[in-house]
Amino acid sequence: MSVYITSTGAFLPGPPISTGEVEGILGMVNGQPSSLRVQIQQANKIQTRHYAIDAQQQTTHSNTEMASEAAEQCLDRAFLDRQSVGMLAVASTQGDLPAPGMASMVQANLGLPAIEILTTHGICSSSMMALKAAYNSLLVGDHDAAVVVSSELSSRLLKKQRYEAATESTFAAKRIDFNTEFLRWMLSDGAGALLLQSTPAPKGYSLRIDWVRGFSHAHALPTCMSVGSAGHPGDERTWQDYDSYADAERAGALLLRQEVRLLDNIIRMGVDGYLRLVQEGVSEPAKIDHFLCHYSSHHFRSKILEMLDAAGVGIPEDRWWTNLYTRGNTGAASLFIMLDEFLRTDEVTIKEGDCILCFVPESGRFNTTYMQLTVVKQ
Amino acid sequence: MTDGEILVEGAQETVDEMVETDVPVMNPHAQVCLQHLLRVWLGFERDLSTVPLLRRLDLGTYTVEDHLCLLRNLRQQVIEGSRWITRTASSFDRNYAEIRSTVIAHAVDEHRDYELLEKDYVASGGQLEDILGMERNVGSEALHGFLMYRASRNNPVDLLGAMWIIEGLGEKMARSWAERIHELTGLGEDSTRFMTYHGHNDGDHMQRFYRTLDDVCVDETTTSSIVKTAQVVARLYRLQLEELNHDVE
């Protein structure tokens, strides 16, 4: 019994936004240009990205709509009657409604009748969690087809009004608050969808899922990327512990934060998980033809890559592929958007039997997830 | 050692950091050994985050008192460190002359490092007699005991695993502890000279380490003994940091 990705879809809202245009969309906080924007943008090297808000910071597409658009495209491309879809798994950092789960809303939009649903909650790796659950559902024979969607609308968290309202936050108190601004110039919006089936597509390439594995290190490491706390050392309160949501917002407890100092742990734990899979014999570095990574190689300092080379398990740079620079960092949606374009791009030649290693690290509290795919043809 | 930081400082540094260097071609046993050593290191580094005093560095609640306590407890380890390294050198016979030279050079580099620690302690506001009067804590006893035992055996190549962990930690102190300590405590650079000196010093050892590993790690038995010793040292080093003795007599 095998499970195959037989169709993909993606949705990126609005036009591509160049690096210089970003602040015009997200807005200048209190009318002042950011002093960190250029530095952070230069470091992440993203050239264009998309936003589901306009230059007045009004939402143009809901998260549910973007997820549905990607799923519609995926289903339109499939050799399958959509009535045969038995399961819908949806991943996002934050759906439009805190409750119910986002899968309910996406199911309603897609009009898929009486299916099994799953909403996974997390950050970047929530897409892999959803994918693994759907993959397992097919493996045990509960369903023959499942749609997995991941969608992110982070610009609503990053627009100027959020920061202007946080009048008593670390952001308001400091001249430069790197941890609070970091993700503002990193993340953008988009959605991707995959169709999983128990048989390959009758035409074209399908991707057989060889395995999906994840290792979370929250037992040892502190929270690194989060929404819900004001970011003061020793302050244990989270957003719902304030008397009012307005109090929480003023304190900055609703701002998206990254503990930049802790970020290198995600690279280390990513390398550790990869070495673990190699040692278990699950992954064979020499057989990897394509490496799709949620981070680009330039995020890894040369030293750790050099050590992997010295240890005989490095993945040559020409096997890395990403569309991060043109589609933006769309969090959980990134891998699905990447797979969708990877199967269509002229930049890479894909052939039957090719082995694809996918890696999605999540800095939230350090969850690293991996998947191996093999290109097959019916 | 495992410098996997995300680059946030700007594009220029990216270019500087990505300069091509020669990656040594090691024998397959040495390669497997390095894979295991990397995992032992990464696990050690992660688990250090659970040590209460070091967690306060991550959470931003580390104080000057914490720093004095850390320095007091590190000193004994550093003093004993020079002893096991010199003992190791004397345990290698002439068939291991190359590695013996490496170990001797290493011992010369570091055998008086504890004096730096004493100066740092005083610069951080501590009393010299307090750090001089410290005994080995429970973890230092265990770590020292194990290292002296292994160092006393003939041709103790497994101690490469110990050097891997201890040198890696030296570099980590320089890379990620020193600046954070200044930021949180307001102490100056003279409070962390041991950490920063140690790091700069250890950074040059990597190529030499690869060569030594390639020379001595030529079968499975050696691989497992090096990895096992790295695991024991990692665990006992963490024990030493968990068992910090806070009392000043």
A121 occurs within a structural domain = yes
Contacts of B81 (CB under 8 A, 6+ apart): B110, B113, B166
The pLDDT of residue A111: 96
Calculate the alpha carbon distances from A342 to A10, A199, A296, B7 in Å. 12, 21, 15, 26
The pLDDT of residue B16: 38
Share of chain A above pLDDT 90, in %: 93
CA dist., res. A295 & res. B8, Å (int):
13
Residue of A nearest to B34 (CA): A311
C-alpha neighbours within 13 Å on the C-beta side of residue A120: 24
Mean pLDDT of B29-51: 97
- Amino acid present at A234: G
A49 occurs within a structural domain = yes
Could you say which residues from 21 to 40 on chain A have a Cβ atom under 8 Å away from some Cβ of chain B? 39-40
Query: Under an 8 A CB cutoff, do B50 and A306 touch?
Result: no
CA dist., res. A213 & res. B90, Å (int):
47
Query: Under an 8 A CB cutoff, do A271 and B2 touch?
Result: yes
Residue of B nearest to A305 (CA): B4
The pLDDT of residue B105: 84
- Paired residues of A362 in beta bridges: A367
Q: Is the CB of residue A45 less than 8 Å away from at least one CB of chain B? A: yes
pLDDT for A360-375, tens place per residue? 999 999 999 999 999 9
A228 occurs within a structural domain = no
Task: With residue A70 as reference, give the H or E element that holds it.
Answer: helix A63-76
- Report chain A's mean pLDDT, rounded to a whole number: 95
How distant is the Cα of B42 from the closest Cα of chain A, in angstroms? 6
CB A47 within 8 Å of CB A325: yes
A237 occurs within a structural domain = no
A331 occurs within a structural domain = yes
Phi, psi of A42 (to 5 degrees): -65, -35
Shared domain for A33 and A135, answered yes or no, is yes
Shared domain for A117 and A214, answered yes or no, is no
Residue A324's domain comprises 206-221+260-377
Token pair in block for residue A114 = 């009486």
Query: Under an 8 A CB cutoff, do A217 and B46 touch?
Result: yes
Mean pLDDT of B50-69: 95
CA dist., res. A28 & res. A22, Å (int):
10
pLDDT for A236-250, tens place per residue? 999 999 999 999 999
Can you list the positions of beta strands (E) in chain A? 4-11, 17-18, 48-49, 87-92, 116-121, 145-152, 190-197, 205-216, 225-227, 256-258, 290-293, 320-321, 355-362, 367-377
The pLDDT of residue B198: 67
CB A234 within 8 Å of CB B61: yes
- Amino acid present at A236: E
A248 occurs within a structural domain = no
Mean pLDDT of B119-140: 95
A235 occurs within a structural domain = no
CB A1 within 8 Å of CB A198: yes
How many helices, marked H, and strands, marked E, lie in chain B? Answer: 13, 0
Describe the strand order of the beta sheet including A145-152 as a list of residue ranges: A116-121, A87-92, A145-152, A190-197, A4-11, A205-216, A367-377, A355-362, A290-293, A320-321
The pLDDT of residue A84: 95
The pLDDT of residue B22: 66
Q: Is the CB of residue B22 less than 8 Å away from at least one CB of chain A? A: no
Residue B118, Cβ neighbours under 10 Å: how many?
17
pLDDT band for position A40 (cuts 50, 70, 90) = very high
Among the candidates A204, A231, A252, a domain finishes at A204
How distant is the Cα of B51 from the closest Cα of chain A, in angstroms? 9
More confident call, A193 vs A307: A193
pLDDT band for position B132 (cuts 50, 70, 90) = very high
- Amino acid present at A223: T
pLDDT for B61-93, tens place per residue? 999 999 999 999 999 888 888 889 999 999 999
Mean pLDDT of A144-173: 97
Token pair in block for residue B121 = 């302690």
Q: Is the pLDDT of residue B4 over 60?
A: no
Q: Is the CB of residue B186 less than 8 Å away from at least one CB of chain A? A: no
Residue of B nearest to A221 (CA): B49
Number of domains in chain A: 2
The pLDDT of residue B186: 96
Expressed in angstroms, the distance from the first to the final Cα of chain A is 15
Tell me the angle at which helices B205-216 and B97-110 cross, rounded to the nearest 10 degrees: 150
Shared domain for A286 and A166, answered yes or no, is no
CA dist., res. A362 & res. A125, Å (int):
6
Token pair in block for residue B77 = 């380890």
pLDDT for A89-102, tens place per residue? 999 999 999 999 99
Mean pLDDT of B134-139: 93
The pLDDT of residue A2: 97
The pLDDT of residue A174: 85
The pLDDT of residue A110: 97
Q: Is the pLDDT of residue A147 over 50?
A: yes
The pLDDT of residue A172: 93
Shared domain for A74 and A159, answered yes or no, is yes
Query: Under an 8 A CB cutoff, do A271 and B3 touch?
Result: no
CA dist., res. A359 & res. A294, Å (int):
6
**Number of residues assigned to chain B:** 249
With beta carbons under 8 A apart, name residues in chain B contacting A279.
Answer: 35-36, 39
| CATH number of the domain that residue A362 is part of | 3.40.47.10
Phi, psi of A57 (to 5 degrees): 65, 25
CA dist., res. B12 & res. B9, Å (int):
8
Which residue of A42, A264, A279 is in closest CB contact with B4?
A264
What residue segments make up the domains of chain B, in order of their start? 27-242
The pLDDT of residue B8: 41
pLDDT for B193-219, tens place per residue? 999 886 655 456 678 889 899 999 999
Q: Is the CB of residue B10 less than 8 Å away from at least one CB of chain A? A: yes
CA dist., res. A262 & res. A366, Å (int):
10
Question: Given its phi and psi angles, is residue B112 left (phi above 0), alpha (psi -120 to 50 degrees) or beta?
Answer: alpha
Share of chain A above pLDDT 70, in %: 98
Shared domain for A159 and A216, answered yes or no, is no
The pLDDT of residue B12: 35
Q: Is the CB of residue B115 less than 8 Å away from at least one CB of chain A? A: no
pLDDT band for position A275 (cuts 50, 70, 90) = very high
Mean pLDDT of B172-190: 93
- Amino acid present at B199: G
CA dist., res. A291 & res. B56, Å (int):
37
**Number of residues assigned to chain A:** 378
Question: In CATH, which superfamily holds the domain spanning B27-242?
Answer: Heme oxygenase-like (1.20.910.10)
Q: Is the CB of residue A174 less than 8 Å away from at least one CB of chain B? A: no
The pLDDT of residue B21: 55
pLDDT for B215-235, tens place per residue? 999 999 999 999 999 999 999
Shared domain for A143 and A91, answered yes or no, is yes
Share of chain B above pLDDT 90, in %: 68
Contacts of A132 (CB under 8 A, 6+ apart): A212, A214
CA-based radius of gyration for chain B? 18
pLDDT band for position A297 (cuts 50, 70, 90) = low
Q: Is the pLDDT of residue B188 over 80?
A: yes
Residue of A nearest to B44 (CA): A220
Shared domain for A298 and A215, answered yes or no, is yes
Q: Is the pLDDT of residue A197 over 80?
A: yes
C-alpha neighbours within 13 Å on the C-beta side of residue A33: 9
Which residue of B9, B36, B45 is in closest CB contact with A268?
B45
- Nearest CA to A359 out of A303, A298, A277 is that of A277
Q: Are strands A355-362 and A320-321 parallel, antiparallel or unpaired?
A: unpaired
With beta carbons under 8 A apart, name residues in chain B contacting A236.
Answer: none
The DSSP secondary-structure symbol of B175 reads I
Residue of B nearest to A306 (CA): B23
Query: Under an 8 A CB cutoff, do A298 and B14 touch?
Result: yes
